[in-house]
Amino acid sequence: MNLKVLEDLCDELLRSDSERSPTLSAMSDGDLERVYVDVLHQFGLELICGVDAHSHWMSDSLVISSNLGPIHGAETAFYAILCEMDRRGVDEPDVV
């Protein structure tokens, strides 16, 4: 999954009145598993960028104060993928 497809998926999820994504629904189970891994990696990268740009510790919690838009976009896409996988009964792939 490239950044353009991820952005399109996030836009679709924001504009959609339904709980199902036409983009994710059209994917095969194998494609959905690959997208899961891609978006999970992107989510991690966005978190790292936010931590690097501006973060601090408050009690025992790390507070990230930068890169919030991309972090929330990747998080939304990731949870939409998880919901679609759950709906289909597809197991989450092992991620390295």
pLDDT tens per residue, range 72-92 = 888 988 988 998 999 999 999
* Amino acid found at 32: L
Question: Per the structure block, which two tokens stand in for 79?
Answer: 């949870």
pLDDT tens per residue, range 12-52 = 777 766 667 788 888 999 999 999 999 999 999 999 999 99
The interaxial angle of helices 3-15 and 68-88, nearest 10 deg, is: 80
pTM of the model: 0.79
Question: Per the structure block, which two tokens stand in for 48?
Answer: 């790292």
SS3 16: coil
Residue 50 has a pLDDT of 95
- Using pLDDT thresholds of 50, 70 and 90, give the confidence band for residue 60: very high
Helix%, strand%, coil% for the chain, nearest 5: 65, 10, 25
Interatomic CA distance for residues 68 and 73, integer angstroms: 8
- Percent share of the chain, pLDDT over 70: 92
